[in-house]
Amino acid sequence: MKAIKIIICFSGGKDSQACLIKAVKDYGAENVEAVFCDTGWEHPITYEHIKYVTDNLGVKLTILKNNKVNGFEDLCIKMKCFPVASRRVCTSVLKIKPMIDYILTLDNSCLIIQGIRAKESKARSEMPVECSYFKEYFDEGVSGQYRKRDVKKWCEKHDASVIRPIFNWTAQEVIDYILENKQDVNPLYKKGHLRVGCYPCIMSRQSEIKILSKDEEMVKRLINLEKKVDEAGDKKPACFFSKGYIPERFCKTYKDGYPTVQEVINYVNRNEIGMDTLFEEDYSCMSLYHGLCE
Protein backbone atom coordinates (compact mmCIF):
# COMPACT_ATOMS: atom_id res chain seq x y z
CA MET A 1 0.00 0.00 0.00
CA LYS A 2 1.39 3.36 -1.06
CA ALA A 3 1.88 6.07 1.53
CA ILE A 4 -0.56 8.96 1.54
CA LYS A 5 0.77 12.00 -0.27
CA ILE A 6 0.74 15.13 1.89
CA ILE A 7 0.06 18.30 -0.10
CA ILE A 8 0.09 21.83 1.27
CA CYS A 9 -1.69 24.43 -0.87
CA PHE A 10 0.98 27.13 -0.79
CA SER A 11 0.25 30.59 -2.16
CA GLY A 12 3.02 32.56 -0.51
CA GLY A 13 0.54 34.02 1.97
CA LYS A 14 0.89 33.90 5.74
CA ASP A 15 -1.78 31.25 6.39
CA SER A 16 -0.44 28.71 3.92
CA GLN A 17 3.09 29.45 5.10
CA ALA A 18 2.11 28.62 8.69
CA CYS A 19 0.47 25.41 7.45
CA LEU A 20 3.60 24.45 5.54
CA ILE A 21 5.84 25.01 8.57
CA LYS A 22 3.47 22.99 10.75
CA ALA A 23 3.29 20.15 8.23
CA VAL A 24 7.08 19.90 8.14
CA LYS A 25 7.16 19.72 11.94
CA ASP A 26 4.35 17.15 12.04
CA TYR A 27 5.29 14.90 9.12
CA GLY A 28 8.88 15.71 8.16
CA ALA A 29 10.14 17.78 5.23
CA GLU A 30 10.75 14.70 3.10
CA ASN A 31 7.09 13.71 3.36
CA VAL A 32 5.37 16.95 2.38
CA GLU A 33 4.97 18.79 -0.90
CA ALA A 34 4.18 22.46 -1.37
CA VAL A 35 1.90 22.98 -4.37
CA PHE A 36 1.71 26.47 -5.84
CA CYS A 37 -0.86 27.31 -8.52
CA ASP A 38 0.82 30.00 -10.58
CA THR A 39 -1.52 32.54 -12.17
CA GLY A 40 1.33 34.45 -13.79
CA TRP A 41 -0.12 37.51 -12.05
CA GLU A 42 1.75 37.38 -8.75
CA HIS A 43 4.06 40.09 -7.47
CA PRO A 44 7.78 39.34 -8.04
CA ILE A 45 8.19 39.52 -4.25
CA THR A 46 5.71 36.66 -3.81
CA TYR A 47 7.58 34.46 -6.28
CA GLU A 48 10.79 35.15 -4.35
CA HIS A 49 9.08 34.46 -1.02
CA ILE A 50 7.74 31.10 -2.18
CA LYS A 51 11.23 29.99 -3.15
CA TYR A 52 12.67 31.36 0.10
CA VAL A 53 10.19 29.45 2.27
CA THR A 54 10.41 26.12 0.46
CA ASP A 55 14.21 26.27 0.22
CA ASN A 56 14.45 27.14 3.90
CA LEU A 57 12.25 24.21 4.89
CA GLY A 58 13.80 21.83 2.41
CA VAL A 59 10.48 20.75 0.91
CA LYS A 60 9.58 19.87 -2.65
CA LEU A 61 7.87 22.68 -4.54
CA THR A 62 5.48 21.77 -7.34
CA ILE A 63 4.30 24.63 -9.55
CA LEU A 64 1.03 24.12 -11.41
CA LYS A 65 -0.28 26.10 -14.38
CA ASN A 66 -3.23 25.82 -16.70
CA ASN A 67 -1.78 24.62 -20.01
CA LYS A 68 -4.70 26.01 -22.00
CA VAL A 69 -4.10 29.64 -21.09
CA ASN A 70 -0.88 31.50 -20.44
CA GLY A 71 -1.81 32.94 -17.06
CA PHE A 72 -4.17 35.68 -15.91
CA GLU A 73 -3.33 38.17 -18.67
CA ASP A 74 -3.93 35.68 -21.46
CA LEU A 75 -7.15 34.49 -19.79
CA CYS A 76 -8.58 38.02 -19.62
CA ILE A 77 -7.62 38.81 -23.21
CA LYS A 78 -9.24 35.60 -24.46
CA MET A 79 -12.39 36.25 -22.40
CA LYS A 80 -12.37 39.87 -23.62
CA CYS A 81 -13.24 40.96 -20.09
CA PHE A 82 -12.05 40.72 -16.49
CA PRO A 83 -13.33 38.32 -13.84
CA VAL A 84 -15.79 39.72 -11.30
CA ALA A 85 -16.36 38.87 -7.66
CA SER A 86 -19.55 36.93 -8.40
CA ARG A 87 -17.86 34.84 -11.09
CA ARG A 88 -14.21 34.35 -10.29
CA VAL A 89 -13.12 32.62 -13.46
CA CYS A 90 -9.51 33.40 -12.58
CA THR A 91 -9.70 31.14 -9.53
CA SER A 92 -11.49 28.29 -11.27
CA VAL A 93 -9.32 28.30 -14.40
CA LEU A 94 -5.92 29.15 -12.97
CA LYS A 95 -6.07 27.49 -9.56
CA ILE A 96 -8.87 24.95 -9.12
CA LYS A 97 -8.60 23.19 -12.48
CA PRO A 98 -4.80 22.77 -12.39
CA MET A 99 -5.04 21.41 -8.84
CA ILE A 100 -7.72 18.89 -9.83
CA ASP A 101 -5.70 17.88 -12.90
CA TYR A 102 -2.70 17.29 -10.66
CA ILE A 103 -4.59 15.25 -8.08
CA LEU A 104 -5.96 13.01 -10.81
CA THR A 105 -2.41 12.16 -11.90
CA LEU A 106 -1.64 10.70 -8.46
CA ASP A 107 -1.68 6.96 -7.99
CA ASN A 108 -2.23 7.21 -4.26
CA SER A 109 -4.52 8.95 -1.83
CA CYS A 110 -3.61 12.39 -0.59
CA LEU A 111 -4.02 14.65 2.41
CA ILE A 112 -4.55 18.25 1.34
CA ILE A 113 -3.72 20.91 3.92
CA GLN A 114 -5.35 24.32 3.53
CA GLY A 115 -4.69 27.58 5.34
CA ILE A 116 -8.30 28.51 6.05
CA ARG A 117 -9.21 30.23 9.32
CA ALA A 118 -12.62 30.64 10.93
CA LYS A 119 -11.95 34.21 12.05
CA GLU A 120 -11.57 35.45 8.49
CA SER A 121 -15.33 35.66 8.00
CA LYS A 122 -18.65 34.33 9.24
CA ALA A 123 -18.96 32.13 6.16
CA ARG A 124 -15.60 30.50 6.79
CA SER A 125 -16.39 29.96 10.44
CA GLU A 126 -19.16 27.61 9.28
CA MET A 127 -16.81 25.52 7.14
CA PRO A 128 -15.69 22.11 8.44
CA VAL A 129 -12.22 21.59 9.86
CA GLU A 130 -11.98 18.37 7.87
CA CYS A 131 -13.77 17.24 4.71
CA SER A 132 -13.32 15.56 1.35
CA TYR A 133 -11.76 17.67 -1.40
CA PHE A 134 -14.27 16.26 -3.87
CA LYS A 135 -17.28 16.38 -1.56
CA GLU A 136 -19.33 18.53 -3.94
CA TYR A 137 -18.91 15.96 -6.71
CA PHE A 138 -21.07 13.56 -4.75
CA ASP A 139 -23.70 16.01 -3.51
CA GLU A 140 -27.10 15.44 -5.06
CA GLY A 141 -28.37 18.14 -7.34
CA VAL A 142 -24.92 19.58 -8.10
CA SER A 143 -23.88 19.42 -11.73
CA GLY A 144 -21.31 20.87 -14.08
CA GLN A 145 -18.20 20.05 -12.06
CA TYR A 146 -14.88 19.98 -13.87
CA ARG A 147 -13.88 16.47 -15.05
CA LYS A 148 -16.65 14.90 -12.99
CA ARG A 149 -16.40 11.45 -14.58
CA ASP A 150 -12.62 11.34 -14.09
CA VAL A 151 -12.90 12.49 -10.49
CA LYS A 152 -15.47 9.83 -9.62
CA LYS A 153 -13.36 7.13 -11.25
CA TRP A 154 -10.26 8.29 -9.33
CA CYS A 155 -12.24 8.30 -6.08
CA GLU A 156 -13.14 4.64 -6.56
CA LYS A 157 -9.57 3.76 -5.58
CA HIS A 158 -8.27 6.85 -3.84
CA ASP A 159 -9.26 9.51 -1.36
CA ALA A 160 -8.46 13.23 -1.18
CA SER A 161 -8.99 14.44 2.36
CA VAL A 162 -8.78 18.08 3.45
CA ILE A 163 -7.66 19.34 6.84
CA ARG A 164 -7.36 22.93 8.06
CA PRO A 165 -4.92 22.80 10.99
CA ILE A 166 -4.94 26.53 11.73
CA PHE A 167 -8.71 26.87 11.47
CA ASN A 168 -9.09 28.34 14.97
CA TRP A 169 -5.97 30.52 14.90
CA THR A 170 -6.03 34.31 14.80
CA ALA A 171 -3.98 36.33 12.34
CA GLN A 172 -1.68 37.31 15.20
CA GLU A 173 -1.11 33.66 16.10
CA VAL A 174 -0.26 32.91 12.48
CA ILE A 175 2.33 35.70 12.36
CA ASP A 176 3.79 34.71 15.72
CA TYR A 177 4.09 31.07 14.67
CA ILE A 178 6.00 31.99 11.50
CA LEU A 179 8.39 34.25 13.39
CA GLU A 180 8.87 31.71 16.19
CA ASN A 181 10.00 29.24 13.55
CA LYS A 182 12.63 31.67 12.32
CA GLN A 183 11.01 32.64 9.06
CA ASP A 184 9.64 35.96 7.87
CA VAL A 185 6.24 36.66 6.34
CA ASN A 186 5.76 37.79 2.77
CA PRO A 187 7.24 41.34 2.60
CA LEU A 188 4.07 42.57 0.86
CA TYR A 189 2.30 42.43 4.25
CA LYS A 190 4.82 44.90 5.62
CA LYS A 191 3.93 47.25 2.79
CA GLY A 192 0.32 47.20 3.99
CA HIS A 193 -1.32 44.54 1.83
CA LEU A 194 -3.95 42.32 3.46
CA ARG A 195 -3.65 39.57 0.88
CA VAL A 196 -0.82 38.61 -1.41
CA GLY A 197 -2.40 36.12 -3.85
CA CYS A 198 -2.55 37.78 -7.30
CA TYR A 199 -1.26 41.32 -7.64
CA PRO A 200 -3.60 42.96 -7.70
CA CYS A 201 -6.61 40.77 -7.05
CA ILE A 202 -9.89 41.90 -8.59
CA MET A 203 -11.19 42.09 -5.01
CA SER A 204 -8.41 44.36 -3.71
CA ARG A 205 -9.45 47.14 -1.36
CA GLN A 206 -8.81 50.77 -2.16
CA SER A 207 -6.15 50.93 0.55
CA GLU A 208 -4.23 48.18 -1.24
CA ILE A 209 -4.56 49.91 -4.61
CA LYS A 210 -3.18 53.06 -3.02
CA ILE A 211 -0.10 51.09 -2.00
CA LEU A 212 0.17 49.56 -5.47
CA SER A 213 -0.06 53.02 -7.02
CA LYS A 214 3.41 53.82 -5.65
CA ASP A 215 4.92 51.01 -7.71
CA GLU A 216 5.34 52.37 -11.24
CA GLU A 217 6.04 48.99 -12.83
CA MET A 218 2.96 47.35 -11.31
CA VAL A 219 0.76 50.30 -12.31
CA LYS A 220 2.11 50.18 -15.86
CA ARG A 221 1.47 46.43 -16.04
CA LEU A 222 -2.13 46.88 -14.88
CA ILE A 223 -2.87 49.78 -17.24
CA ASN A 224 -1.37 47.90 -20.19
CA LEU A 225 -3.47 44.82 -19.48
CA GLU A 226 -6.65 46.87 -19.19
CA LYS A 227 -5.87 48.43 -22.57
CA LYS A 228 -5.23 45.03 -24.20
CA VAL A 229 -8.44 43.54 -22.84
CA ASP A 230 -10.45 46.60 -23.83
CA GLU A 231 -9.06 46.45 -27.38
CA ALA A 232 -9.82 42.73 -27.61
CA GLY A 233 -13.43 43.13 -26.52
CA ASP A 234 -16.45 43.67 -28.72
CA LYS A 235 -18.23 45.60 -26.01
CA LYS A 236 -16.85 48.62 -24.19
CA PRO A 237 -15.65 49.14 -21.59
CA ALA A 238 -13.47 46.31 -20.32
CA CYS A 239 -12.32 47.65 -16.97
CA PHE A 240 -10.26 45.88 -14.33
CA PHE A 241 -12.27 47.46 -11.51
CA SER A 242 -15.99 46.92 -11.19
CA LYS A 243 -18.70 49.50 -11.60
CA GLY A 244 -19.11 51.42 -8.37
CA TYR A 245 -15.56 50.78 -7.17
CA ILE A 246 -15.18 54.54 -6.90
CA PRO A 247 -17.93 57.21 -7.02
CA GLU A 248 -19.35 57.63 -10.52
CA ARG A 249 -18.49 61.32 -10.68
CA PHE A 250 -14.81 60.36 -10.81
CA CYS A 251 -15.34 58.07 -13.81
CA LYS A 252 -14.74 60.44 -16.72
CA THR A 253 -13.68 58.09 -19.53
CA TYR A 254 -16.93 56.13 -19.68
CA LYS A 255 -20.42 57.40 -18.91
CA ASP A 256 -21.78 54.30 -17.24
CA GLY A 257 -19.81 54.39 -13.99
CA TYR A 258 -16.98 52.03 -14.89
CA PRO A 259 -13.62 53.43 -13.78
CA THR A 260 -10.36 52.96 -15.65
CA VAL A 261 -7.26 51.90 -13.73
CA GLN A 262 -5.87 55.43 -14.03
CA GLU A 263 -9.08 56.94 -12.64
CA VAL A 264 -8.92 54.60 -9.65
CA ILE A 265 -5.25 55.48 -9.10
CA ASN A 266 -6.12 59.17 -9.23
CA TYR A 267 -9.03 58.72 -6.83
CA VAL A 268 -7.21 56.75 -4.13
CA ASN A 269 -4.38 59.27 -4.12
CA ARG A 270 -6.53 62.39 -3.89
CA ASN A 271 -8.70 61.03 -1.09
CA GLU A 272 -7.91 59.98 2.45
CA ILE A 273 -8.17 56.23 2.16
CA GLY A 274 -7.87 54.68 5.60
CA MET A 275 -5.26 51.95 5.91
CA ASP A 276 -6.75 48.56 6.70
CA THR A 277 -5.08 46.38 9.25
CA LEU A 278 -3.67 42.95 8.55
CA PHE A 279 -5.63 41.67 11.50
CA GLU A 280 -9.07 42.62 10.24
CA GLU A 281 -10.91 39.38 9.60
CA ASP A 282 -13.21 40.59 6.86
CA TYR A 283 -12.46 38.78 3.63
CA SER A 284 -15.32 38.20 1.24
CA CYS A 285 -14.07 35.13 -0.63
CA MET A 286 -15.67 31.89 0.53
CA SER A 287 -14.78 28.67 -1.21
CA LEU A 288 -13.74 25.12 -0.49
CA TYR A 289 -10.70 25.93 -2.62
CA HIS A 290 -9.82 29.18 -0.81
CA GLY A 291 -6.62 27.57 0.49
CA LEU A 292 -5.20 27.88 -3.02
CA CYS A 293 -5.13 31.64 -2.66
CA GLU A 294 -3.98 32.32 0.88
If phi > 0 it is left, if psi is from -120 to 50 it is alpha, else beta; for residue 171 that is alpha
- Same domain? For 139 and 186 the reply is yes
Please check whether residue 198 lies inside any domain of the structure.
no
Q: Which residues of the chain have pLDDT under 70?
A: 1, 272-294
- Same domain? For 242 and 285 the reply is no
Please check whether residue 22 lies inside any domain of the structure.
yes
- Same domain? For 45 and 11 the reply is yes
- Same domain? For 36 and 127 the reply is yes
What's the pLDDT score for residue 272? 67
Give dist(CA 241, CA 200) in Å, integer: 10
The pTM for the full model equals: 0.90
- Same domain? For 169 and 248 the reply is no
Give dist(CA 177, CA 17) in Å, integer: 10
State which amino acid sits at residue 241. Answer: F
Taking only the tens place, the pLDDT of each residue in 203-224 is 999 999 999 999 999 999 999 9
Q: What CATH number does residue 136 fall under?
A: 3.40.50.620
State which amino acid sits at residue 62. Answer: T
Please check whether residue 181 lies inside any domain of the structure.
yes
- Same domain? For 133 and 74 the reply is yes
Please check whether residue 201 lies inside any domain of the structure.
no
- Same domain? For 228 and 102 the reply is no
What's the pLDDT score for residue 39? 98
Please check whether residue 195 lies inside any domain of the structure.
no
What's the pLDDT score for residue 273? 64
Please check whether residue 200 lies inside any domain of the structure.
no
- Same domain? For 147 and 34 the reply is yes
- Same domain? For 125 and 38 the reply is yes
What's the pLDDT score for residue 215? 95
- Same domain? For 77 and 180 the reply is yes
- Same domain? For 112 and 214 the reply is no
What's the pLDDT score for residue 1? 53
Mean pLDDT of the chain: 91
User: Could you tell me the residue range of the domain that residue 258 belongs to?
Assistant: 206-270
Cβ neighbors of 241 (< 8 A, separation 6 or more) are 202, 258, 259, 261, 264
Please check whether residue 275 lies inside any domain of the structure.
no
Please check whether residue 80 lies inside any domain of the structure.
yes
- Same domain? For 240 and 141 the reply is no
What's the pLDDT score for residue 111? 98
Find, among 129, 105, 135, the residue nearest to 117 by Cα: 129
The domain tally of the chain equals: 2
Burial class from Cβ neighbours inside 10 Å (0-12, 13-18, 19+) for residue 121 reads middle
